[in-house]
Amino acid sequence: MGDGDGTVIIGAGPAGLTAAYELLRHGRPVRVYEADDVVGGISRTVERDGWRFDIGGHRFFTKVARVEDFWHEILPDEDFLLRPRMSRIYYRGALFDYPLNAGNALRNLGLLEAARCLGSYGRARLRPPKDQSHFEGWVSARFGWRLYSIFFKTYTEKVWGMPADRLQADWAAQRIKNLSLATAMRNALLPRRNRTDVTSLIEEFQYPKHGPGMMWERCAEEVARRGGTVRTGAWVTEVHRDPAARRATAVTVADAGGERTEPAAHVISSMPISALVRAMRPEAPPEVRAAADDLRYRDFLTVALVVPEEFSFPDNWIYVHDPAARVGRIQNFGSWSPYLVKDGRTCLGLEYFVFEGDEMWRTPDAELVGFATAELERLGLVKPGCVEAGYVVRMPKAYPVYDERYQHNVDVIRDWLAAYVPNVHPVGRNGMHRYNNADHSMLTAMLTAENIAHGAEHDVWTVNVEQDYHEQRSPSRHGTGRDAPVVPARR
Protein backbone atom coordinates (compact mmCIF):
# COMPACT_ATOMS: atom_id res chain seq x y z
CA MET A 1 0.00 0.00 0.00
CA GLY A 2 1.79 3.12 -1.17
CA ASP A 3 0.98 6.71 -0.34
CA GLY A 4 -0.05 6.97 -3.99
CA ASP A 5 -3.36 5.40 -2.93
CA GLY A 6 -4.03 8.70 -1.22
CA THR A 7 -6.46 9.53 1.54
CA VAL A 8 -10.12 8.57 1.50
CA ILE A 9 -12.28 11.02 3.44
CA ILE A 10 -15.66 9.88 4.73
CA GLY A 11 -18.20 12.73 4.85
CA ALA A 12 -18.31 16.17 3.18
CA GLY A 13 -19.28 18.24 6.21
CA PRO A 14 -16.98 20.91 7.69
CA ALA A 15 -14.52 18.29 9.00
CA GLY A 16 -14.27 16.21 5.82
CA LEU A 17 -13.99 19.15 3.43
CA THR A 18 -11.50 21.00 5.64
CA ALA A 19 -9.36 17.86 5.75
CA ALA A 20 -9.52 17.53 1.96
CA TYR A 21 -8.61 21.17 1.36
CA GLU A 22 -5.72 21.07 3.82
CA LEU A 23 -4.28 17.81 2.43
CA LEU A 24 -4.36 19.28 -1.07
CA ARG A 25 -2.52 22.31 0.29
CA HIS A 26 0.19 19.84 1.32
CA GLY A 27 0.11 18.26 -2.15
CA ARG A 28 -1.60 15.03 -1.01
CA PRO A 29 -4.28 13.30 -3.16
CA VAL A 30 -7.77 13.02 -1.66
CA ARG A 31 -11.13 11.42 -2.48
CA VAL A 32 -14.15 12.53 -0.46
CA TYR A 33 -17.29 10.35 -0.25
CA GLU A 34 -20.52 11.86 1.02
CA ALA A 35 -23.57 9.68 1.62
CA ASP A 36 -26.08 12.52 1.19
CA ASP A 37 -26.81 14.25 -2.08
CA VAL A 38 -25.59 17.61 -0.74
CA VAL A 39 -22.39 18.71 1.01
CA GLY A 40 -22.14 20.55 4.33
CA GLY A 41 -23.34 17.87 6.75
CA ILE A 42 -25.24 19.48 9.64
CA SER A 43 -23.83 22.81 8.39
CA ARG A 44 -25.60 22.47 5.02
CA THR A 45 -28.17 24.84 3.62
CA VAL A 46 -31.35 23.07 2.51
CA GLU A 47 -33.11 24.56 -0.50
CA ARG A 48 -36.79 23.97 -1.36
CA ASP A 49 -38.74 25.97 -3.94
CA GLY A 50 -36.17 28.75 -3.69
CA TRP A 51 -36.37 29.03 0.13
CA ARG A 52 -33.18 28.33 2.04
CA PHE A 53 -33.10 26.73 5.50
CA ASP A 54 -30.26 26.41 7.95
CA ILE A 55 -30.26 23.35 10.24
CA GLY A 56 -30.59 25.25 13.49
CA GLY A 57 -28.89 28.47 12.52
CA HIS A 58 -25.12 28.47 12.25
CA ARG A 59 -23.24 31.40 13.69
CA PHE A 60 -19.71 31.69 12.33
CA PHE A 61 -17.78 32.60 15.43
CA THR A 62 -14.39 31.31 16.53
CA LYS A 63 -11.42 32.19 18.68
CA VAL A 64 -9.14 30.08 16.47
CA ALA A 65 -7.28 32.31 13.99
CA ARG A 66 -6.57 29.59 11.46
CA VAL A 67 -10.25 28.63 11.29
CA GLU A 68 -11.20 32.27 10.76
CA ASP A 69 -8.53 32.55 8.03
CA PHE A 70 -9.84 29.40 6.36
CA TRP A 71 -13.39 30.80 6.16
CA HIS A 72 -12.08 33.94 4.48
CA GLU A 73 -9.82 32.01 2.13
CA ILE A 74 -12.85 30.08 0.87
CA LEU A 75 -15.44 32.88 0.67
CA PRO A 76 -14.69 36.48 -0.39
CA ASP A 77 -15.60 39.19 2.13
CA GLU A 78 -18.65 40.26 0.10
CA ASP A 79 -20.24 36.86 0.73
CA PHE A 80 -20.23 37.42 4.50
CA LEU A 81 -22.80 39.35 6.46
CA LEU A 82 -22.05 40.60 9.96
CA ARG A 83 -25.20 39.88 11.93
CA PRO A 84 -26.29 41.13 15.32
CA ARG A 85 -27.21 38.30 17.64
CA MET A 86 -30.67 38.63 18.99
CA SER A 87 -32.81 36.00 20.63
CA ARG A 88 -35.57 36.12 23.19
CA ILE A 89 -37.48 33.68 25.33
CA TYR A 90 -41.19 33.16 24.82
CA TYR A 91 -43.01 32.32 28.04
CA ARG A 92 -46.76 32.53 28.60
CA GLY A 93 -47.44 35.14 25.94
CA ALA A 94 -44.46 37.41 26.74
CA LEU A 95 -41.05 37.80 25.11
CA PHE A 96 -38.13 38.01 27.54
CA ASP A 97 -34.75 39.44 26.48
CA TYR A 98 -31.97 36.88 26.30
CA PRO A 99 -29.52 37.21 27.95
CA LEU A 100 -31.94 38.15 30.69
CA ASN A 101 -32.40 41.82 31.36
CA ALA A 102 -33.62 42.68 34.82
CA GLY A 103 -35.99 45.53 33.85
CA ASN A 104 -37.53 43.63 30.95
CA ALA A 105 -37.91 40.44 33.00
CA LEU A 106 -39.59 42.38 35.79
CA ARG A 107 -42.04 44.04 33.39
CA ASN A 108 -42.92 40.72 31.72
CA LEU A 109 -43.31 38.74 34.92
CA GLY A 110 -45.43 41.37 36.64
CA LEU A 111 -44.90 42.51 40.22
CA LEU A 112 -46.54 39.54 41.89
CA GLU A 113 -44.62 36.85 39.99
CA ALA A 114 -41.40 38.90 40.31
CA ALA A 115 -41.88 39.01 44.09
CA ARG A 116 -42.45 35.25 44.13
CA CYS A 117 -39.26 34.73 42.10
CA LEU A 118 -37.26 36.89 44.50
CA GLY A 119 -38.70 35.02 47.47
CA SER A 120 -37.81 31.73 45.88
CA TYR A 121 -34.29 33.03 45.12
CA GLY A 122 -33.91 34.14 48.74
CA ARG A 123 -34.99 30.70 49.95
CA ALA A 124 -32.47 29.03 47.65
CA ARG A 125 -29.66 31.24 49.00
CA LEU A 126 -30.61 30.53 52.60
CA ARG A 127 -31.32 26.83 52.17
CA PRO A 128 -29.77 25.68 48.89
CA PRO A 129 -31.00 22.35 47.48
CA LYS A 130 -29.03 19.48 49.05
CA ASP A 131 -28.44 17.65 45.80
CA GLN A 132 -26.69 19.91 43.32
CA SER A 133 -25.15 17.07 41.34
CA HIS A 134 -27.89 17.38 38.74
CA PHE A 135 -28.92 20.28 36.47
CA GLU A 136 -32.09 21.06 38.38
CA GLY A 137 -30.36 21.29 41.78
CA TRP A 138 -27.39 23.26 40.44
CA VAL A 139 -29.40 25.91 38.61
CA SER A 140 -32.18 26.30 41.16
CA ALA A 141 -29.52 26.83 43.86
CA ARG A 142 -28.23 29.82 41.89
CA PHE A 143 -31.49 31.31 40.59
CA GLY A 144 -34.20 29.94 42.88
CA TRP A 145 -36.79 27.36 41.88
CA ARG A 146 -39.26 29.71 40.21
CA LEU A 147 -36.77 31.40 37.90
CA TYR A 148 -35.24 28.00 37.18
CA SER A 149 -38.60 26.56 36.17
CA ILE A 150 -39.41 29.54 33.92
CA PHE A 151 -36.05 30.04 32.24
CA PHE A 152 -34.18 26.73 32.30
CA LYS A 153 -36.28 23.65 32.99
CA THR A 154 -38.69 23.32 30.06
CA TYR A 155 -36.29 24.14 27.24
CA THR A 156 -33.57 21.84 28.59
CA GLU A 157 -36.06 19.00 28.91
CA LYS A 158 -37.26 19.56 25.35
CA VAL A 159 -33.72 19.47 23.95
CA TRP A 160 -32.55 16.34 25.76
CA GLY A 161 -35.86 14.52 26.03
CA MET A 162 -35.63 13.73 29.74
CA PRO A 163 -36.33 15.27 33.17
CA ALA A 164 -33.77 17.88 34.21
CA ASP A 165 -33.05 16.13 37.52
CA ARG A 166 -31.56 13.27 35.52
CA LEU A 167 -29.01 15.50 33.76
CA GLN A 168 -25.64 15.90 35.45
CA ALA A 169 -24.72 19.39 36.64
CA ASP A 170 -21.26 19.93 35.09
CA TRP A 171 -22.89 20.94 31.84
CA ALA A 172 -24.81 23.72 33.53
CA ALA A 173 -21.59 24.93 35.11
CA GLN A 174 -19.95 24.97 31.68
CA ARG A 175 -22.80 26.41 29.62
CA ILE A 176 -23.89 29.17 31.92
CA LYS A 177 -20.48 29.69 33.43
CA ASN A 178 -19.99 32.99 35.20
CA LEU A 179 -23.73 33.58 35.03
CA SER A 180 -25.82 33.88 38.19
CA LEU A 181 -28.68 36.15 39.10
CA ALA A 182 -26.13 38.69 40.32
CA THR A 183 -24.05 38.64 37.09
CA ALA A 184 -27.20 38.62 34.98
CA MET A 185 -28.29 41.82 36.77
CA ARG A 186 -24.82 43.35 36.35
CA ASN A 187 -24.82 42.49 32.64
CA ALA A 188 -28.21 44.12 32.31
CA LEU A 189 -26.69 47.41 33.45
CA LEU A 190 -23.41 47.30 31.45
CA PRO A 191 -22.94 48.31 27.80
CA ARG A 192 -23.63 45.23 25.64
CA ARG A 193 -21.45 45.43 22.55
CA ASN A 194 -18.56 43.00 22.10
CA ARG A 195 -18.81 41.50 25.55
CA THR A 196 -17.51 37.98 24.93
CA ASP A 197 -16.47 36.91 28.41
CA VAL A 198 -19.59 34.84 29.01
CA THR A 199 -20.40 31.99 26.64
CA SER A 200 -24.02 32.91 26.13
CA LEU A 201 -23.35 36.56 25.29
CA ILE A 202 -21.79 36.53 21.80
CA GLU A 203 -23.22 39.72 20.30
CA GLU A 204 -22.21 39.65 16.65
CA PHE A 205 -21.34 36.88 14.30
CA GLN A 206 -20.49 36.33 10.66
CA TYR A 207 -22.86 34.54 8.36
CA PRO A 208 -22.48 33.56 4.69
CA LYS A 209 -25.26 35.37 2.87
CA HIS A 210 -26.78 32.21 1.36
CA GLY A 211 -26.43 30.23 4.58
CA PRO A 212 -23.65 28.04 6.00
CA GLY A 213 -23.92 25.49 3.17
CA MET A 214 -22.50 28.15 0.85
CA MET A 215 -19.14 27.81 2.62
CA TRP A 216 -19.04 24.06 2.06
CA GLU A 217 -20.39 24.12 -1.50
CA ARG A 218 -17.61 26.55 -2.41
CA CYS A 219 -15.05 24.51 -0.50
CA ALA A 220 -16.10 21.34 -2.38
CA GLU A 221 -15.67 23.20 -5.69
CA GLU A 222 -12.21 24.33 -4.58
CA VAL A 223 -11.24 20.78 -3.61
CA ALA A 224 -12.28 19.57 -7.07
CA ARG A 225 -10.47 22.47 -8.79
CA ARG A 226 -7.28 21.54 -6.97
CA GLY A 227 -7.41 17.94 -8.15
CA GLY A 228 -9.38 16.19 -5.38
CA THR A 229 -12.68 14.40 -5.92
CA VAL A 230 -15.91 14.92 -3.98
CA ARG A 231 -18.67 12.38 -4.69
CA THR A 232 -22.12 12.88 -3.22
CA GLY A 233 -24.66 10.05 -2.99
CA ALA A 234 -21.69 7.81 -2.16
CA TRP A 235 -21.99 5.82 1.03
CA VAL A 236 -18.91 4.24 2.64
CA THR A 237 -20.23 0.88 3.80
CA GLU A 238 -17.03 -1.01 4.73
CA VAL A 239 -13.53 -0.19 5.90
CA HIS A 240 -11.16 -3.09 5.17
CA ARG A 241 -8.21 -3.72 7.41
CA ASP A 242 -5.21 -6.01 7.47
CA PRO A 243 -5.00 -7.28 11.07
CA ALA A 244 -1.42 -8.55 10.65
CA ALA A 245 -0.16 -5.25 9.26
CA ARG A 246 -2.41 -3.33 11.66
CA ARG A 247 -3.63 -0.99 8.95
CA ALA A 248 -6.75 -0.11 6.99
CA THR A 249 -6.19 -0.95 3.33
CA ALA A 250 -9.38 -0.04 1.44
CA VAL A 251 -12.98 1.15 1.66
CA THR A 252 -16.15 -0.09 -0.04
CA VAL A 253 -18.28 2.68 -1.51
CA ALA A 254 -21.93 2.22 -2.55
CA ASP A 255 -23.59 4.67 -4.92
CA ALA A 256 -26.23 4.66 -7.66
CA GLY A 257 -23.80 2.77 -9.91
CA GLY A 258 -23.36 -0.11 -7.42
CA GLU A 259 -20.54 -1.06 -5.04
CA ARG A 260 -16.79 -0.93 -5.49
CA THR A 261 -13.79 -1.31 -3.24
CA GLU A 262 -10.97 1.22 -3.46
CA PRO A 263 -7.50 1.20 -1.88
CA ALA A 264 -6.61 3.85 0.71
CA ALA A 265 -3.33 4.75 2.38
CA HIS A 266 -5.23 6.72 5.03
CA VAL A 267 -8.91 7.05 5.95
CA ILE A 268 -10.20 10.24 7.59
CA SER A 269 -13.62 9.53 9.05
CA SER A 270 -16.28 12.07 9.98
CA MET A 271 -19.05 9.45 9.86
CA PRO A 272 -20.48 8.59 13.29
CA ILE A 273 -17.76 6.72 15.19
CA SER A 274 -20.31 4.02 16.10
CA ALA A 275 -20.98 3.37 12.39
CA LEU A 276 -17.24 3.40 11.64
CA VAL A 277 -16.72 0.54 14.09
CA ARG A 278 -19.60 -1.41 12.54
CA ALA A 279 -18.09 -0.89 9.05
CA MET A 280 -14.79 -2.61 9.97
CA ARG A 281 -13.89 -5.77 7.97
CA PRO A 282 -12.84 -8.05 9.52
CA GLU A 283 -15.13 -7.04 12.36
CA ALA A 284 -13.81 -5.19 15.40
CA PRO A 285 -13.66 -7.28 18.62
CA PRO A 286 -16.95 -7.72 20.56
CA GLU A 287 -16.10 -5.24 23.34
CA VAL A 288 -15.38 -2.52 20.78
CA ARG A 289 -18.62 -3.24 18.91
CA ALA A 290 -20.50 -3.19 22.21
CA ALA A 291 -19.04 0.23 23.00
CA ALA A 292 -20.12 1.46 19.56
CA ASP A 293 -23.64 0.07 19.93
CA ASP A 294 -24.00 1.84 23.29
CA LEU A 295 -23.43 5.36 21.87
CA ARG A 296 -26.60 7.40 21.44
CA TYR A 297 -27.86 10.44 19.55
CA ARG A 298 -30.57 13.08 19.71
CA ASP A 299 -32.21 13.93 16.42
CA PHE A 300 -33.70 17.11 15.03
CA LEU A 301 -36.60 18.16 12.88
CA THR A 302 -37.46 21.60 11.47
CA VAL A 303 -40.85 22.59 10.11
CA ALA A 304 -40.25 25.71 8.01
CA LEU A 305 -43.35 27.85 7.48
CA VAL A 306 -43.62 30.66 4.93
CA VAL A 307 -45.49 33.71 6.27
CA PRO A 308 -45.97 37.34 5.16
CA GLU A 309 -43.16 39.67 6.24
CA GLU A 310 -45.40 41.48 8.74
CA PHE A 311 -44.98 38.43 11.02
CA SER A 312 -41.20 38.66 10.91
CA PHE A 313 -39.36 39.48 14.17
CA PRO A 314 -35.88 40.91 14.71
CA ASP A 315 -34.60 37.84 16.59
CA ASN A 316 -32.50 35.18 14.90
CA TRP A 317 -34.52 32.76 16.96
CA ILE A 318 -36.96 32.65 19.86
CA TYR A 319 -36.66 30.02 22.58
CA VAL A 320 -40.06 28.61 23.46
CA HIS A 321 -40.05 27.92 27.20
CA ASP A 322 -43.79 27.60 27.36
CA PRO A 323 -44.50 24.06 28.61
CA ALA A 324 -47.77 23.99 26.62
CA ALA A 325 -45.91 24.03 23.28
CA ARG A 326 -43.91 21.11 21.88
CA VAL A 327 -41.71 23.37 19.71
CA GLY A 328 -38.31 24.18 21.27
CA ARG A 329 -37.08 27.11 19.19
CA ILE A 330 -38.34 29.20 16.30
CA GLN A 331 -35.80 30.43 13.77
CA ASN A 332 -36.57 33.49 11.67
CA PHE A 333 -34.52 32.74 8.58
CA GLY A 334 -35.15 36.27 7.26
CA SER A 335 -33.27 37.64 10.29
CA TRP A 336 -30.24 35.52 9.47
CA SER A 337 -30.03 36.73 5.92
CA PRO A 338 -32.42 38.39 3.47
CA TYR A 339 -30.95 36.04 0.84
CA LEU A 340 -32.58 33.01 2.53
CA VAL A 341 -36.11 34.30 1.93
CA LYS A 342 -38.12 36.03 -0.79
CA ASP A 343 -39.48 39.56 -1.07
CA GLY A 344 -42.50 40.29 1.08
CA ARG A 345 -42.21 36.98 2.99
CA THR A 346 -40.15 35.41 5.73
CA CYS A 347 -39.78 31.82 6.76
CA LEU A 348 -40.08 30.65 10.36
CA GLY A 349 -38.34 27.38 11.25
CA LEU A 350 -40.05 25.59 14.13
CA GLU A 351 -37.51 23.25 15.69
CA TYR A 352 -38.43 19.99 17.35
CA PHE A 353 -35.95 17.85 19.28
CA VAL A 354 -36.83 14.21 18.66
CA PHE A 355 -35.50 10.67 18.52
CA GLU A 356 -35.13 9.13 15.07
CA GLY A 357 -38.04 6.75 14.55
CA ASP A 358 -40.23 8.21 17.32
CA GLU A 359 -43.82 9.23 16.64
CA MET A 360 -43.01 12.77 15.57
CA TRP A 361 -40.14 11.63 13.32
CA ARG A 362 -42.50 9.21 11.53
CA THR A 363 -45.39 11.68 11.17
CA PRO A 364 -46.02 12.53 7.47
CA ASP A 365 -44.80 15.97 6.38
CA ALA A 366 -48.27 17.39 5.66
CA GLU A 367 -49.44 16.54 9.19
CA LEU A 368 -46.29 18.06 10.71
CA VAL A 369 -46.89 21.26 8.76
CA GLY A 370 -50.46 21.36 10.12
CA PHE A 371 -49.28 20.67 13.68
CA ALA A 372 -46.55 23.33 13.58
CA THR A 373 -48.91 25.88 12.03
CA ALA A 374 -51.41 25.31 14.84
CA GLU A 375 -48.64 25.73 17.47
CA LEU A 376 -47.43 28.95 15.87
CA GLU A 377 -50.96 30.36 15.76
CA ARG A 378 -51.65 29.30 19.37
CA LEU A 379 -48.49 31.08 20.53
CA GLY A 380 -49.92 34.22 18.92
CA LEU A 381 -46.82 34.84 16.79
CA VAL A 382 -48.87 34.84 13.56
CA LYS A 383 -52.49 35.40 12.59
CA PRO A 384 -54.59 32.30 11.91
CA GLY A 385 -54.61 31.35 8.23
CA CYS A 386 -51.48 33.31 7.26
CA VAL A 387 -49.12 30.34 6.69
CA GLU A 388 -48.67 30.01 2.92
CA ALA A 389 -46.42 26.94 2.61
CA GLY A 390 -44.53 24.50 4.81
CA TYR A 391 -41.49 22.23 4.47
CA VAL A 392 -40.08 19.54 6.77
CA VAL A 393 -36.36 18.91 7.18
CA ARG A 394 -35.20 15.93 9.25
CA MET A 395 -31.62 15.76 10.55
CA PRO A 396 -30.68 12.45 12.14
CA LYS A 397 -27.84 12.34 14.69
CA ALA A 398 -27.81 16.12 15.16
CA TYR A 399 -26.52 15.74 18.72
CA PRO A 400 -24.14 13.11 20.08
CA VAL A 401 -25.52 12.27 23.54
CA TYR A 402 -23.22 12.35 26.57
CA ASP A 403 -24.45 9.67 28.92
CA GLU A 404 -22.71 8.18 31.93
CA ARG A 405 -20.89 5.62 29.77
CA TYR A 406 -20.19 7.62 26.65
CA GLN A 407 -16.66 8.66 27.65
CA HIS A 408 -15.71 5.10 28.48
CA ASN A 409 -17.23 3.88 25.21
CA VAL A 410 -15.38 6.51 23.16
CA ASP A 411 -12.12 5.67 24.96
CA VAL A 412 -12.52 1.95 24.19
CA ILE A 413 -13.06 2.70 20.49
CA ARG A 414 -10.37 5.31 20.32
CA ASP A 415 -7.73 3.07 21.94
CA TRP A 416 -8.62 0.16 19.64
CA LEU A 417 -8.45 2.30 16.51
CA ALA A 418 -5.08 3.73 17.55
CA ALA A 419 -3.64 0.27 18.20
CA TYR A 420 -5.13 -1.74 15.31
CA VAL A 421 -5.94 0.71 12.50
CA PRO A 422 -3.80 3.79 13.21
CA ASN A 423 -4.23 5.02 9.64
CA VAL A 424 -7.97 5.52 10.29
CA HIS A 425 -8.36 9.02 11.71
CA PRO A 426 -11.66 10.02 13.38
CA VAL A 427 -12.42 13.75 13.11
CA GLY A 428 -15.32 16.10 13.78
CA ARG A 429 -18.61 15.97 15.64
CA ASN A 430 -20.12 12.50 15.34
CA GLY A 431 -16.76 11.34 14.00
CA MET A 432 -15.38 11.80 17.53
CA HIS A 433 -18.73 11.81 19.37
CA ARG A 434 -18.19 15.41 20.46
CA TYR A 435 -20.88 18.03 21.04
CA ASN A 436 -19.08 20.82 19.20
CA ASN A 437 -19.23 23.82 16.93
CA ALA A 438 -17.95 23.70 13.37
CA ASP A 439 -14.62 25.32 14.34
CA HIS A 440 -13.80 22.30 16.51
CA SER A 441 -14.55 19.93 13.63
CA MET A 442 -12.38 22.03 11.33
CA LEU A 443 -9.43 22.22 13.71
CA THR A 444 -9.42 18.45 14.28
CA ALA A 445 -9.36 18.07 10.47
CA MET A 446 -6.52 20.59 10.00
CA LEU A 447 -4.34 18.87 12.59
CA THR A 448 -5.11 15.42 11.14
CA ALA A 449 -4.04 16.66 7.70
CA GLU A 450 -0.69 17.71 9.24
CA ASN A 451 -0.34 14.32 10.91
CA ILE A 452 -0.79 12.61 7.54
CA ALA A 453 1.14 15.06 5.39
CA HIS A 454 4.29 15.42 7.45
CA GLY A 455 4.06 13.07 10.38
CA ALA A 456 3.11 15.72 12.93
CA GLU A 457 2.00 14.02 16.12
CA HIS A 458 -0.99 16.12 17.13
CA ASP A 459 -3.40 14.44 19.49
CA VAL A 460 -6.68 15.70 18.03
CA TRP A 461 -8.64 14.31 20.97
CA THR A 462 -7.26 17.14 23.12
CA VAL A 463 -8.52 19.94 20.84
CA ASN A 464 -10.53 22.52 22.75
CA VAL A 465 -11.37 25.59 20.72
CA GLU A 466 -11.87 27.68 23.84
CA GLN A 467 -8.12 27.43 24.38
CA ASP A 468 -5.42 27.79 21.78
CA TYR A 469 -4.25 24.38 20.75
CA HIS A 470 -1.02 23.50 22.53
CA GLU A 471 0.35 20.01 22.58
CA GLN A 472 1.73 20.36 26.09
CA ARG A 473 -1.20 22.02 27.80
CA SER A 474 -3.12 19.80 30.20
CA PRO A 475 -4.64 17.54 27.57
CA SER A 476 -8.22 16.59 28.33
CA ARG A 477 -10.27 13.95 26.60
CA HIS A 478 -13.44 15.96 27.09
CA GLY A 479 -13.56 19.60 26.04
CA THR A 480 -14.54 21.02 22.68
CA GLY A 481 -15.32 24.53 23.81
CA ARG A 482 -19.00 23.60 23.80
CA ASP A 483 -20.57 21.24 26.24
CA ALA A 484 -23.58 19.03 26.66
CA PRO A 485 -25.22 17.58 29.74
CA VAL A 486 -24.35 14.07 30.84
CA VAL A 487 -27.54 12.02 30.73
CA PRO A 488 -28.22 8.66 32.39
CA ALA A 489 -27.04 5.66 30.36
CA ARG A 490 -29.47 3.04 29.02
CA ARG A 491 -29.72 0.12 31.44
3-state secondary structure of 208: strand
Q: Rank residues 141 and 273 by Cβ distance to ligand FAD and give the closer one.
A: 273
Single residue of 108, 149, 156, 270 touching ligand FAD by CB under 6 A: 270
Of 57-65, 91-99, 195-203, 416-424, the window that binds ligand FAD (rule: CB under 6 A) is 57-65
Nearest approach, Cβ of residue 229 and ligand FAD (Å) = 13
Nearest approach, Cβ of residue 68 and ligand FAD (Å) = 12
Q: Rank residues 146 and 482 by Cβ distance to ligand FAD and give the closer one.
A: 482
Binding mask 296-335 for ligand FAD (x = CB under 6 A): ----x-----------------------------------
**Beta strands, E only, 359-450:** 389-400, 402-403, 424-426
Q: Is 236 in the site for ligand FAD (CB under 6 A)?
A: yes
Instruction: Note whether 375 and 325 are within 8 A (CB).
Output: yes
Rounded CA separation 206/212 (Å): 10
Count of residues interacting with ligand FAD (CB under 6 A)? 36
Site for ligand FAD in 441-480 (CB under 6 A): 441
Mode of pairing for the β-strands spanning 266-269 and 424-426: parallel
Rounded CA separation 479/485 (Å): 12
Instruction: Note whether 293 and 414 are within 8 A (CB).
Output: no
Single residue of 15, 67, 74, 223 touching ligand FAD by CB under 6 A: 15
Q: Is 14 in the site for ligand FAD (CB under 6 A)?
A: yes
3-state secondary structure of 287: helix
Site for ligand FAD in 97-126 (CB under 6 A): none
Q: Is 80 in the site for ligand FAD (CB under 6 A)?
A: no
Single residue of 337, 430, 448, 464 touching ligand FAD by CB under 6 A: 430
Residue type, 418: A
Residue type, 187: N
Whether residue 99 has a cis bond before it, omega within 30° of 0: yes
Rounded CA separation 87/316 (Å): 6
Of 56-64, 180-188, 224-232, 285-293, the window that binds ligand FAD (rule: CB under 6 A) is 56-64
Nearest approach, Cβ of residue 429 and ligand FAD (Å) = 4
HSE-up (13 A, CA, CB side) for residue 250: 10
Rounded CA separation 292/294 (Å): 5
Q: Which residues contact 115 (CB under 8 A, 6 or more apart)?
A: none
Q: Which residues bind ligand FAD (CB under 6 A)?
A: 10-16, 33-36, 41-43, 55-59, 235-236, 270-271, 275, 300, 398-399, 428-431, 436-439, 441
